[in-house]
């Protein structure tokens, strides 16, 4: 019972903070609201019994990536004068396009309540032992491939960060 209330509270907060990210005038405020959004999403992970995912989500997104975002935005010193101004036609076409997308989404999700999951949901999958066993037994190849992808991205970032490549 209490989890249902928590779910609605967290969902409400997530949507509210998510809209504040878009609506805030100040980019630093947007970043801070995004951090709060990540916290509410981490709360959802805890409700799904995925504690490991929740902790890693907070460490990686809120603790590292958003700090870098904040870092860059603080250095850029964005303000009203540097804000790009869009023409009225662009704004109108954006409104029409996003409205059509909303219609398509509503249309496709109309019958969503009848969708059944094919695999039974295991509530203990998010616990760290089960997650580790699953990752290293059933999904070993995708796991290793994604780690190689991350390594390649890391090497690429170091190469780009160098001042001169000889």
Partner 1 sequence: MTLSFLIYKVILVLVIFAITLLVATYSTYAERKIAAFLQDRIGPDRAGPFGILQPLADAVKMFMKEEMIPSVSNRMLFIIGPGVCMLTACMTGVVIPWGPSMNIGGTEYPLQITDLNIGILYLFGVISLGVYGIMIGGWASNNKFSLLGAIRASSQMISYEVAMGLSIIALVMTTGTLSLGQIAADQPGAHWNVFIQPLGFLIFIICAFAETNRAPFDLPECETELVGGYHTEYSSMKLGFFLFAEYINMFISSAVISTFYFGGYNMPFIARFVHDPNWLAVLGFVFLFTKISFFIFVFMWVRWTLPRFRYDQLMNLGWKVLIPLSILNLVVTGGWMMRMEIYHFFIK
Q: Which residues bind partner 1 (CB under 8 A)?
A: 28, 32, 35, 51-52, 55-56, 58-59, 62-64, 67-68, 70-71, 74-75, 127-128
Candidates 43, 50, 52, 57; CA nearest to 8 is 43
Least distance CB 44 / partner 1 (angstroms): 16
- Minimum CB distance to partner 1, residue 56 (Å): 7
Q: Which is nearer to partner 1, 60 or 94 (CB)?
A: 60
DSSP string, 16-33: HHHHHHHH-SSHHHHHHH
Q: How far apart are CA 101 and CA 50, in angstroms?
A: 32
Neighbours of 14 (CB within 10 A): 18
| Nearer to partner 1 among residue 12 and residue 71 (C-beta) | 71
Which pair of tokens denotes residue 29? Answer: 């405020």
Q: With 0-12 CB in 10 A as exposed, 13-18 as middle and 19+ as buried, what is 41? A: buried
- Output 6 or 70, the one with its CB closest to partner 1: 70
Cβ distance to partner 1 smaller for residue 25 or 85: 25
Contact 64/87 with Cβ under 8 angstroms?
Answer: no
Least CB distance to partner 1 at residue 101 (A): 34
Q: Least CB distance from residue 52 to partner 1, whole Å?
A: 6
């Amino acid at each position: 019972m209490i989890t249902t209330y928590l779910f609605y509270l967290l969902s409400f907060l997530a949507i509210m903070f998510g809209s504040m990210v878009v609506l805030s005038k100040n980019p630093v405020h947007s970043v801070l609201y995004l951090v709060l959004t990540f916290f509410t999403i981490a709360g959802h992970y805890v409700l799904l019994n995925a504690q490991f995912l929740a902790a890693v989500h907070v460490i990686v997104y809120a603790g590292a990536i958003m700090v870098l975002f904040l870092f860059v935005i603080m250095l850029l010193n964005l303000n009203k004068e540097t804000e790009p101004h869009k023409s009225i036609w662009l704004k109108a076409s954006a409104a029409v396009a996003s409205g059509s997308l909303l219609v398509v989404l509503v249309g496709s999700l109309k019958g969503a309540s009848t969708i059944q999951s094919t695999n039974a949901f295991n509530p203990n999958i998010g616990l760290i032992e089960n997650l580790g066993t699953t990752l290293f037994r059933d999904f070993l190849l995708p796991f290793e491939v994604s780690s190689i992808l991350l390594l390649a991205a890391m090497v690429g970032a170091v190469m780009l960060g160098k001042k001169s490549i000889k």
